[in-house]
A and B are shown apart, each in its own frame.
Chain A
């Protein structure tokens, strides 16, 4: 069963990822990105990370891709590009070789290091098979709000700074100095 889920989700992920880099139309690329993000969410569920799967669907597919589509429509760049033109001669060949080399190196590293993965922590609660349906969320909340509570507060500051900075960046200049 897990094999079936893995194969289906990885097909979704890879088809979506290839769609992002090969579709001419930016809107189609954004929709392919949604396919990839849903595939990743399925893989999260398969690995008993249910809370992260929900956050993945809500934040990535629900907010970030919508933001991409907003900007595409706002800038009016929603027309197909001509991908036949190669800006730098031979660059795509070299990029393909670099990508294949990266796959080879990372796969070699992962396979040769696979026996290092040993049980270390206290165990991850499984919400699906366990009797407590909120086990994953409770465990994650224990980790975030006790061990990483300072980092959590810093991310809230980061979000405020990002929102204020973006409002300043994207507003129209009125011509009256900085105000």
Chain B
């Protein structure tokens, strides 16, 4: 239609996942609600998954997708354990703010 067809190269996908990873990192630094911080960690994990799939396709290697499969399993286990810890902490105190959790401070 426009005379030339632009096909997104792997670099485009990698730059997108770099931006996504940085948004997640800023979210972990800025937010104080532990649940939202967990969601930002999920953002970073997804950015890395996108990187694996992209590089796997660029190198024509199926093992990139196999690693993403394992990352998803470990992410599911991590979320389950993390939310269990948050539930058991929040049960004995009200309010959610990671700045209040200072019992281990030396």
Complex interface residues of chain B between 57 and 100 (CB less than 8 A to chain A):
57-63, 65-66, 68-70, 72-81, 83-88, 90, 96, 99
SS class of chain B's interface: helix, strand, loop or mixed?
Answer: helix
- Inside 8 A of A63's CB, which chain B residues have their CB? 76
**Which one of B25, B68, B75 lies within 8 Å of A102 (CB-CB)?**
B25
On whether A20 and B11 interact (CB within 8 A), knowing A95-B26, A170-B84, the answer reads: no
User: Looking across the interface, which residue of chain B has its beta carbon closest to that of A158?
Assistant: B77
CB neighbours (8 Å) of A139 from chain B are 62
Contact B15 A110 (CB under 8 A): yes
**Would you give the shortest CB distance from A67 to chain B, in whole angstroms?**
6
B13 pairs with A47, CB closer than 8 A: yes
- A47–B57 touching, CB < 8 Å: yes
Say yes or no: is B102 at the interface (Cβ < 8 Å to chain A): no
Choice from A26, A68, A118, A169 contacting B59 with Cβ under 8 Å = A118
Question: Contact between A52 and B65 (Cβ–Cβ < 8 Å)?
Answer: yes
Write 30 A-B pairs (CB below 8 A) sorted by A numbering.
A17-B20, A20-B27, A20-B36, A20-B43, A21-B27, A29-B39, A33-B39, A43-B13, A43-B53, A47-B13, A49-B65, A67-B83, A71-B35, A75-B96, A77-B33, A77-B35, A87-B32, A95-B29, A98-B25, A100-B22, A102-B22, A103-B22, A110-B11, A111-B11, A122-B62, A140-B66, A159-B76, A162-B80, A166-B83, A170-B88
Task: Give 9 closest A-B pairs by Cβ, nearest first.
Answer: A121-B61, A106-B18, A21-B27, A166-B84, A99-B26, A162-B77, A117-B58, A95-B29, A169-B84
- Interface of A toward B, CB cutoff 8 Å: 2-3, 6, 10, 13-14, 17-18, 20-21, 26, 29-30, 33, 36-37, 40, 43-44, 47-49, 51-52, 55-56, 59-60, 63-64, 67-68, 71-72, 74-75, 77, 81, 87, 91-92, 95-96, 98-100, 102-103, 106-107, 110-111, 114, 117-124, 136, 139-140, 142-144, 147-148, 151-152, 155, 158-159, 161-163, 165-166, 169-170
